[in-house]
Amino acid sequence: MFMLVNCSNCHTPLQLPPGAQSIRCAICRGVTLIADPRSLPPPGSSHQPYPPPSSSTASSPYNHAPPGAPPQVHGRKRALIVGVSYTNSRHELKGCLNDAKCMKYLLINRFKFPESSIVMLTEEETDPYKRPTKYNMRMAMYWLVQGCQPGDSLVFHYSGHGSQQRNYTGDEIDGYDETLCPVDFETQGMIVDDEINATIVKPLPRGARLHAIIDACHSGTVLDLPFLCRMDRYGKYIWEDHRPRSGMWKGTSGGEAISFSGCDDDQTSADTSALSRITSTGAMTYSFIQAIERGHGNTYGNILNAMRSTIRHTDSQIDGGVVTTLITMLLTGGSVGGGLRQEPQLSSNEPFDVYTKPFSL
């Protein structure tokens, strides 16, 4: 029976084996000594790393912010960047490491994220705790939100394979959970959208913001956010209600969570050199960065339209990435007949006017 104990240095929840007197954190590498085992939760207890959502008098069922004025702004920036290449496997992707490096450069140079506040998980890392394994991804997601306070800006970027699996709880409109695939997913399993939501969405306090940028197949609702922006090719949109019929809580604890994803839940995403003409990239990551760099990053609606336009205008070239796309299809079961089509998506914990709400990280 494993129990949870917080790291004495960075406060990340750690799974403590029975009888252990110390444990090393996978994020900060600090060692936590267990001085008094009697202070730990008893076996079988339902100790949770986050408290349940508090009650609220707010009108929205997905806004659990406490009443009154918001607390004092804190203002830290923190990011988790994951690029999974699946090197030397039948699922290998060529552009994910480039995506991770480009996103780090963008956050540091355009949005002034301190380099020390960015955790990178890629197969290029020599530190075993910085490889994109399932365990490391889980611990890094805990780190991302740990100690989050009002005014904090968090970013989660993922470039790699995504997939789907049958949902049996009734909280998915299409009957499928969306998943992310760590480098060791074939032996350790995938990370399901329910876990991603519980780890980095639900704990967000009032005044904190999370932006997820997910470049993967089947990623439209991979954060399980309650509302999806359904936009047509002319820029007209409605917010589609994805709140589970079971009534399960999928919102935040008063904070703001917004996700840009590479495609709809039933689509696949390209890993190709057709866009940059120089090196392989994820089509979604490339189009997102291009939207920012070309001055379309003032509102969420402008970013989404610019991303879709970039991908739509290169559809005929994306067929150049058909070999990589075929590798992707081995995992997702999709089809490449007629060329790849993907439409980036926007989802949120609350609906908003996408053309007036300013975008900022």
Mind telling me the catalytic residues? 161, 217
Where does residue 211 fall: left (phi above 0), alpha (psi -120 to 50 degrees), or beta otherwise?
A: beta
3 state SS of 306:
helix
177/192 Cα distance (integer angstroms): 7
Q: CA separation (Å) from 240 to 173, 234, 346?
A: 11, 17, 11
Amino acid code (one letter) for 338: G
If you compute the radius of gyration of the chain from its CA atoms, what whole number of angstroms results?
20
DSSP-derived letter for residue 106 is: H
Tally the C-alpha atoms within 13 A of residue 10's C-alpha that lie toward its C-beta.
20
3 state SS of 286:
helix
Euclidean distance between the first and final Cα of the chain, in Å?
40
3 state SS of 302:
helix
Q: Which residue matches tokens 């990370």? A: 191
φ, ψ (nearest 5 deg) of residue 139: -65, -35
86/181 Cα distance (integer angstroms): 10
- For the beta carbon of residue 151, count every other beta carbon within 10 angstroms: 16
